[in-house]
Amino acid sequence: MFDALAMRSTFGIALTAFGLSTIAQAGVDGGCPPDTDCYDVTTVFVGENGYGGGGSDIEYYGTNSGLSGWAVGTTACNLGTIEAPWYGGTKAAPVIGQNVYRYKNGRFEQIGLSWLKHSFCAVSEPGCADSYQSTGCDTLGIGCADTYWADLNANIDAPRSEINATTGEYDYPFTNSPSGPSTIRARIQLLPDDIDPSENPGAQFWIEGQYVVTPRVDGSGEYAEPGESVWGVHHNNASSRAVRFTSTSNCVGISNSPGATDHTLPAVMRWADVDPSATVVEVLTDEYGEGGEGTAQGLLHVGHSATDNGNGTHHYEFLVHNQVSHRSVGSFSVPVPDCVTLTNVEARLPIYHSGETIDNAPWQWEHSGGVLTFWTDAHTPENNMTGAAIRWGTSANFRFDADAEPTADHLTVGLWRSGPGAATILVETLVPDCEQADCPEDLTGDGIVNVDDLLMAIAGFGTPGGDVNGDGIGDVDDLLALIAAFGISC
């Protein structure tokens, strides 16, 4: 049997707005739940020749308008117990996404993405299981592999904005088609400076392939039978491979043992492997199920690190990866007391291209009331296909420097679309915090100077219990100092 390589390297706990929930391993090894018949399509090889037998199927197609065009080969495997739908030219065929990530100077960033290959004809070959049951072109057989070489994945026509990655559903034909120069149209687009070895000493890179598989259809071509989200095996559809750019026009795979591709491991999970200051956790989201009925679970990854700049400030780095959440992410909030001074605040999002309808508008941010919040426009029917949310198959970064050391707290991830569960999710992280000594007006110690502190100062007037300025006695000077600080978060 194919040796599934990837147990997620880091797991964590997330807190929903309605209580504590443990994030469980999301079916990463592949295969159906016990006593269940299902298909389970995973990405077993990315950018490899001969089903992982060596070589690199990573193609460069040239540069136009300051961008280079790339594609990588992907191999899928059905680790389930029934045939998977692969009906070319219909809405019952998987779509295949390609991404590129870079780790450099403590930052793990998505530097390139493609449109989607709308697949056709599963060849049902051997290569991913001890036994396999080959089928016709319209399905991927049990235990069978199917490869789309880079040249096939370079011929792309499906927009990410039109795919529900939680359930795999979409309408076909697509309403949007890619545009732009043929060299780079819809392919992975990379800035040459982002991959130039001379400009990126010590940087590490990964390519990633992701399959989104639809539910099965009936004789009329309508979705009629359950898909992967119903069985809970849709979280293991992204795999990655470490690569090295030898020039701005050549990329080669880096072999690991026992295979080069990290099976079912999305690239973002490697941040914690290459950076000891980083932590990455899985976060499950409540989503509407197939046909808008029932519920399913989406999957996000949230990462963070805090490092000492050596000049009295710390750098705080955050990452949000949306693997298969249709609800997407529309806001990101970090508790930062108003007594903290922030610099170099930045939100970095993926760049969509080739006529994709998703907007590349920058997110806004504000530091107020003890919280640093990043956000995009709220979801509406009008911006459903265009809003600059963190969509599936993409990652965003949030970062800043602060004149305060890190302490444990919880950040808040806000989901963009409505759904059956909580609209916000709390994730444990490291955030900057002021020492209590810097906020003596907070007599109650609740983190804010408010009426409760004023009442305590009045009650302690003439005693040490009302002392704010450190002279040992509560008096008018203390009341005036407290009033001057009223409303400050500590």
Q: What is the mean pLDDT of residues 189-204?
A: 98
Contact call for residues 131 and 143 (beta carbons, < 8 A): yes
Residue the block writes with tokens 């309508």: 222
Phi-psi region of 54 (alpha: psi -120 to 50; beta: other; left: phi over 0): left
Confidence label for 486 from pLDDT (cuts 50, 70 and 90): confident
Cα 404 from Cα 313, distance rounded (Å): 6
DSSP 111-131: EEEEEEEE------BSSSSSS
Strand-strand pairing, 74-78 and 145-148: antiparallel
Q: What is the mean pLDDT of residues 382-405?
A: 98
Cα 211 from Cα 344, distance rounded (Å): 36
- Per the DSSP assignment, residues forming a β-bridge with 394 are 322
The H-assigned helical ranges of 69-223 are: 150-153, 192-195
The predicted structure's pLDDT at residue 24: 26
* 186 vs 435, residue with greater confidence: 186
Cα 299 from Cα 449, distance rounded (Å): 38
- Supply the DSSP symbol for 20: E
Contact call for residues 99 and 393 (beta carbons, < 8 A): yes
The predicted structure's pLDDT at residue 151: 97
Which of 354, 356, 363, 357 lies closest to 396 in space, CA to CA? 363
Confidence label for 256 from pLDDT (cuts 50, 70 and 90): low
Task: For residue 456, report the phi and psi dihedrals to the nearest 5 degrees.
Answer: -65, -40
Cα 88 from Cα 119, distance rounded (Å): 6
Q: Which two tokens stand for residue 182?
A: 């043929």
Q: Which two tokens stand for residue 262?
A: 């990290």
Contact call for residues 307 and 96 (beta carbons, < 8 A): no
Cα 366 from Cα 386, distance rounded (Å): 23
24-33, 234-243, 445-454: the lowest-pLDDT one? 24-33
The predicted structure's pLDDT at residue 299: 98
Entry pTM? 0.85
Domains of the chain: 13-432 (no CATH), 436-484 (1.10.1330)
The predicted structure's pLDDT at residue 472: 84
The H-assigned helical ranges of 269-399 are: 271-274
The predicted structure's pLDDT at residue 7: 27
Beta-carbon neighbour count of residue 361 at 10 Å?
12
